[in-house]
Structure 1
Amino acid sequence: MNRSWVDGNQVELLINGEQYYPRVFEAMAQAQEEILLETFIIFDDKVGQQLRQVLIHAARRGVRVELAVDGYGTADLPDGFIASMTEAGVCFHAFDPQPRLAGMRTNLFRRLHRKIVVVDGKRAFIGGINYSADHLGDYGPMAKQDYAVEVTGPVVAQLHAASQRLMAPVLQPPSAVRPALQRTGPASALFVERDNGRHRTDIELSYLQGIRAARTRIMVANAYFFPGYRLLRELRNAARRGVEVTLILQGQPDMRWVRALSRLLYNYLLRDGVHIHEYCQRPLHGKVALVDDEWATVGSSNLDPLSLSFNLEANLLIRDRAFNRQLHQHLATLASEQCKAVTLERMIRGYWWRAPLIFAGFHLTRYFPRIAGWFPAHRQKLRSVQPEIDAHRDLHEGNT
């Protein structure tokens, strides 16, 4: 990591779409110069349509709007949806769009999984929330539990610079916005990213550093938990030296194989005193953690091979006692009231037939970074998209 912690930031936790969407849409509606937006998913639903309208209005009043989406995660967005934005002046870019093969998406690995918004270089948002209605409680039982933060202060300059670098091939001309460096709050913060260049392991290293420094408690709430061997070992070692280590993982997964893989690692952790809770209210999509009473992180990175070895990811590290306390209170309530505790006795049942799978899963985590190197790393570039269709006709037909 070649960035430094910066003081003087205000960081606010936003839980689920109910808190996130009103704040981020309000910030976009108030933009005067520039909106830089990166996301994995935009769906053509009530949330995606609200995003589209707020970006169109911003572009029409002269705000520079640069929108980058993943070519896999947003592959199904209608051309009319996109065209209505580009006609208004929104610059729409897709990361590694690939043609389908027999109707199937082929760009499975190394996705743009970051979720970042920077408004006028003064206010930023970062977390795990996409632009889709399944992040709202009224979506039903499969509504996702997720987190983001709103941040102001000098660290916004780091997020602004990161978005500029990602969009550099399509930013014509480059951004002229100078990020505000005024102190706005008590938090120290550091932006960390994972890419397929100079920052391949920055997010994993930030977790390892935090875990190794822990003295009293570690709490991790992560949707897709199948980390590398080093991270597993450090969690176990922390529990052995008396740190209270609590993991909140998926109990009602959106993809059943996710829980099956995670459970291959439970025995290894439970034997040394790690506490594991499965969140059963709805699918857990969060990627947050805290250490002791000051350090925390919120971002897009899961603790699985895709996030740690392939995808473009972004997290914010935070040192602030009040923020840590708020996150801890929330996660502790989640663990005690909305989760099922996983015990070693429960996981030992049927161990004889699961033992080969556990052995294979454990050693896969040990060697996966080397295996990941066998896969080609395609160039990290965006392609501007300008559909040549009648946007109004297409949108009308799509809404009937």
Structure 2
Amino acid sequence: MNNNNHWTGGNSIELLENGEEFFPRVFDAIRNARREAIVETFILFEDKVGLQLHAAMREAAQRGVKVDLMIDGFGSPDLSREFIEGLTSVGVKVRVFDPGARFMGQRLNVFRRMHRKIVVVDGERAFVGGINYSADHLLDFGPKAKQDYAVELKGPIVAEIHQFVLRAIALGGKGAGWFRRRLKQAPAARLSPVGEADAMFVTRDNRRHTNDIERQYRAAIRAAKDRIVIANAYFFPGYRLIKELRRAARRGVDVRLILQGEPDMPIVKIAASMLYHHLLHAGVRIYEYCERPLHGKVALMDDKWSTVGSSNLDPLSLSLNLESNVIVRDKAFNTVLWERMDQLMQHSCKQIQAADLASEWSGWRLVRSFFVFHIMRWYPALLGRLPRHVPRLTPAEATDLANRRDTGLSNPTGGATQTEAA
């Protein structure tokens, strides 16, 4: 359910920072859709942002646009009957990825989540990134507002993203015939070059493409000659990626990591900080973003390679979740991303120095490093042994959702809180 990780030229790609830049573009694209709008997201909350998305999809569907919404059964909680019925009543197809009932108030479907954030409109315009549909991606949310990124894409790469999202729906139960019919409705004009950027759409699943995103990261790190900047919300990668970062720093590459200094979950900072000695000793520079929670998943290498997407560099994203990233080969886009990252490092980050860690007892540090080393070395294989069920998409019929809520067995999408990794 993926392309072969090849470069596609002739694209226009624009970086969108935070909800202030992202939400208006997406909602405007959906409202102006002529034939089709497809939305995939991990989190959709029934707050002011979710209600704006709801209104845009309703408006499009009422004009005859085919609107498909896929939400994750773990990440999107407590959507009311009225919210779902308001969509389905005008023809929006709402599908839930692997919904799960609660047991004694707890959700059990924690692993192998649909963590992608993708929008495709008319097969001509796409959005990929890490931004969910919730008010905590807006600055007016307050100190807990998240710092995050997405990209808007036009050009031939959109055809590949479009095929991917249609195939995801087809494999969820609609079938190959439905996929072929929907694909035929896409205009050939969308294949025309509209810019200079090369792009690659890379996804991770639990079948044929279990480590594609990580492989692209490692290949780019190995090829880097001048600089590497990685900004990632949940950072605890496997041993091989850490090894490549250390090797790059030791051969003179300027390697910088931007990690969470004010995390939405304290365990995130604890896990990442367990790697600090190992990385600083090799010459990697570490910056903690302290203005508010960092939710971004972006990186750049040298002056052309960049990536923006949904994939964290942690066990869930690299070994379990369904993810999607866009990799860009373009000097202009790389420059824009570098300027944004440099702004964060200069004005919103604290650089971690070896002296900041010197007070830690050296004996404990050696013991901890031993265990961290082996966890990083073996966790991809261990997590890969977890059950590989193939979750199917479940239509979110308003009557069915109401029955489940009324009986108290579960809420319509399995429930989640805003503090969970997203």
Range into which the TM-score falls when normalised by the shorter chain: over 0.9
Amino acid at match of 1:85: L
Q: Distance in 2 between matches of 1:300 and 1:368?
A: 20
Match in the other structure for 2:77: 75
Q: Specify the SS of the correspondent of 2:333.
A: helix
Question: Is 2:259 the partner of 1:257?
Answer: no
Residues 217-254 of structure 1, C-alpha deviations (whole Å, 9 max, x = no match): 00000000000000000000000000000000000000
Q: Distance in 2 between matches of 1:2 and 1:271?
A: 37
| 1:299 and 1:315 in contact (8 A); partners too | yes
Amino acid at match of 1:348: A
| 2:71 and 2:96 in contact (8 A); partners too | yes
Match in the other structure for 1:269: 279
Q: 1:358 aligns with which of 362, 366, 369?
A: 369
Match in the other structure for 1:182: 192
Q: Distance in 2 between matches of 1:177 and 1:329?
A: 40
Match in the other structure for 2:335: 325
Match in the other structure for 2:391: 380
* Range with bigger deviation, 346-355 or 50-59: 346-355
Q: Distance in 2 between matches of 1:272 and 1:234?
A: 11
Amino acid at match of 1:67: L
* Range with bigger deviation, 295-304 or 357-366: 357-366
> How do residues 89-100 of structure 1 correspond to structure 2 at under 5 angstroms?
89-100=91-102
> How do residues 236-251 of structure 1 correspond to structure 2 at under 5 angstroms?
236-251=246-261
Q: 2:225 aligns with which of 215, 235, 240?
A: 215
| Structure 1 residues 82 and 347, CA gap change in structure 2 (3 angstroms) | same
Q: Distance in 2 between matches of 1:387 and 1:351?
A: 57
| 1:191 and 1:316 in contact (8 A); partners too | yes
Match in the other structure for 1:29: 31
Q: Distance in 1 between matches of 2:335 and 2:48?
A: 34
Question: Is 2:308 the partner of 1:306?
Answer: no
TM-superposed deviation, 1:390: 11
TM-superposed deviation, 1:106: 1.0
Q: Specify the SS of the correspondent of 1:23.
A: helix
Q: Specify the SS of the correspondent of 1:388.
A: helix
Q: Specify the SS of the correspondent of 2:282.
A: coil
Match in the other structure for 1:50: 52
List structure 1 segments (4+ residues) > 6 angstroms apart after TM superposition.
none
TM-superposed deviation, 1:162: 1.1
Q: Specify the SS of the correspondent of 2:389.
A: coil
Match in the other structure for 2:11: 9
Amino acid at match of 1:183: P
Match in the other structure for 2:418: none
TM-score by length of 1: 0.95
Match in the other structure for 2:408: none
Percentage of pairs with the same residue: 53
TM-superposed deviation, 1:354: 4.0
TM-superposed deviation, 1:333: 1.2
Amino acid at match of 1:235: L
Match in the other structure for 2:412: none
Match in the other structure for 2:347: 337
> How do residues 50-129 of structure 1 correspond to structure 2 at under 5 angstroms?
50-129=52-131
Gapped regions of structure 2 (runs ≥ 5): 406-422
| Structure 1 residues 23 and 331, CA gap change in structure 2 (3 angstroms) | same
Q: Distance in 2 between matches of 1:292 and 1:3?
A: 20
The alignment covers a number of residue pairs equal to 392
Match in the other structure for 2:209: 199
TM-superposed deviation, 1:380: 3.4
Residues 79-129 of structure 1, C-alpha deviations (whole Å, 9 max, x = no match): 221111111110000000010011111111000000000000000000000
| Structure 1 residues 244 and 390, CA gap change in structure 2 (3 angstroms) | closer
Q: Distance in 1 between matches of 2:352 and 2:29?
A: 41
| 1:127 and 1:149 in contact (8 A); partners too | yes
TM-superposed deviation, 1:356: 2.4
TM-score by length of 2: 0.91
Q: Distance in 1 between matches of 2:185 and 2:368?
A: 53
TM-superposed deviation, 1:359: 2.3
Q: Name the Cα RMSD after superposition.
A: 1.5
Gapped regions of structure 1 (runs ≥ 5): 395-400
Question: Is 2:326 the partner of 1:316?
Answer: yes
Q: Distance in 1 between matches of 2:313 and 2:77?
A: 24
| 2:81 and 2:401 in contact (8 A); partners too | no
Q: Specify the SS of the correspondent of 2:198.
A: strand
Amino acid at match of 1:366: R
Match in the other structure for 1:397: none
